[in-house]
């Protein structure tokens, strides 16, 4: 399939900004903010989303008043919007190969341009940018996508949409386009809302351009993708017990409460990196982040496997992780044996990859060996 247009929606993540703004506003209203009802608001035009928000939380204001108060607060925070994992890589890749890219969002055009203004050079990547205030009907109506196709002079069936919301997925399909969903609603309960998409991915890191007739990426090193490193740490705790008992693969579990925000934004999948274990040294590691579909976890977890034989358990020891590469997305398996074989293959990939740059460059990262700061009174 030759793709002439790729409208990429929501290349920036604003979840933390939403939490920040609504926490402040709700406190003024004598309410407590939480993210319930997100599935009903995601991808809708601002006024429609505000109406749902006001109703769900019984706010003492109208939807219009909520927008009047919140819009300036969001505008002040656009510089804090973060690029979604894999977004910059994908946009730059397509631009370099002269593939026309567009942005089509239910947000007002001014808001889109405001966010992009804090991402140097990004505005130039997009040939067409259309906001929800420039069409009569917002998503899930197909108008916004057919308008983009018309402006580019291409047929809808030659277009590929990458969407994060169920509303956007419906709009793309209604426009007669192929749709890849990268859900913002990442909890298990929301999976069915994306099933009409042609393909559902955990993140843009998993997007394979060649599947759609586009030039493939050339940046994988030793069967893994180098990523901007991220850092987590905490005391090793007892996990599900399945690592060594069921799989024969001991994992060193960390308490997720210590890095809830990092975990919420982290792409589910299999990673590689380095593990610093207090008083024991620095070791290669491979780890899973997510719900582990085979075991169908109720909560998102981080389960590192240190690629070293230890003579005894080390519960309570401080573990530091520097995550430097991405191997694959989460997957389910037809049998326990198939899962075990895949985990061991992930381990072999990590063993080899961590011997070469850029992964090997982080083996001596000071984070791995610097103890956590003690609280007052601790020794």
Output helix, strand, coil percentages for the chain, rounded to the nearest 5.
Answer: 40, 20, 40
Angle between helix axes 46-57 and 63-76 (nearest 10 degrees) is 110
Under 8 Å between Cβ of 332 and 338: no
Cα distances from 253 to residues 173, 263, 310, 332, 379, in angstroms, run 41, 14, 15, 21, 24
How far the first Cα of the chain sits from its last, in Å, is: 63
Neighbours of 313 (CB within 10 A): 12
Under 8 Å between Cβ of 178 and 159: yes
Where helices occur in the chain by DSSP H, the ranges are 15-28, 38-41, 46-57, 63-76, 87-96, 109-116, 143-152, 166-174, 242-245, 260-265, 336-353
Distance CA 60, CA 51 (A): 12
- Using DSSP's 3-state secondary structure scheme, residue 9 falls into coil
> Catalytic site residues?
303
Distance CA 368, CA 282 (A): 7
């Amino acid at each position: 399939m030759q793709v002439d247009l790729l409208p990429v929606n929501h290349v920036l993540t604003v979840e933390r900004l939403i939490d920040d703004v609504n926490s402040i506003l709700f406190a003024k209203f004598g309410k407590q903010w939480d993210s319930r009802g997100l599935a009903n608001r995601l991808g809708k035009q601002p006024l429609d989303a505000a109406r749902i928000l006001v109703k769900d939380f019984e706010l003492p204001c109208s939807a219009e008043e909520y927008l009047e108060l919140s819009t300036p607060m969001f505008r002040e925070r656009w510089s804090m919007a973060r690029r979604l994992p894999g977004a910059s890589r994908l946009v730059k890749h397509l631009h370099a190969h002269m593939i026309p890219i567009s942005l089509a969002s239910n947000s007002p055009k001014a808001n889109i341009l405001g966010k992009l203004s804090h991402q140097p050079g990004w505005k130039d990547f997009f040939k067409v940018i259309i906001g929800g205030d420039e069409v009569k009907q917002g998503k899930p109506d197909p108008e916004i996508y057919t308008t983009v196709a018309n402006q580019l002079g291409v047929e809808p069936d030659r277009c590929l949409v990458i969407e994060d919301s169920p509303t956007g997925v419906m709009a793309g399909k209604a426009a007669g386009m192929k749709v890849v969903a990268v859900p913002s609603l990442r909890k298990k309960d929301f999976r069915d809302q994306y099933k009409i998409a042609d393909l559902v991915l955990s993140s843009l890191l998993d997007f394979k351009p060649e599947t759609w007739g586009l030039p493939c990426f050339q940046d994988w090193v030793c069967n893994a993708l180098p990523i901007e490193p991220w850092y987590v740490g905490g005391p090793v705790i007892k996990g599900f017990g399945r690592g060594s008992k069921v799989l024969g693969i001991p994992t060193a579990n960390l308490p997720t409460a210590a890095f809830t925000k990092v975990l919420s934004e982290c792409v589910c999948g299999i990673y590689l990196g380095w593990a610093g274990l207090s008083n024991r040294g620095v070791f290669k590691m491979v780890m899973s982040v997510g719900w582990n579909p085979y075991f169908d976890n109720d909560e998102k977890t981080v389960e590192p496997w240190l690629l070293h034989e230890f003579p005894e358990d080390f519960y309570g020891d401080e573990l530091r992780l520097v995550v430097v590469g991405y191997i694959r997305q989460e997957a389910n398996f037809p049998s326990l044996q198939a899962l075990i074989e895949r985990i061991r293959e992930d381990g072999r990939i990590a063993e080899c990859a961590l011997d070469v740059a850029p992964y090997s460059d982080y083996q001596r990262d000071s984070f791995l060996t610097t103890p956590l700061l003690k609280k007052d009174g601790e020794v």
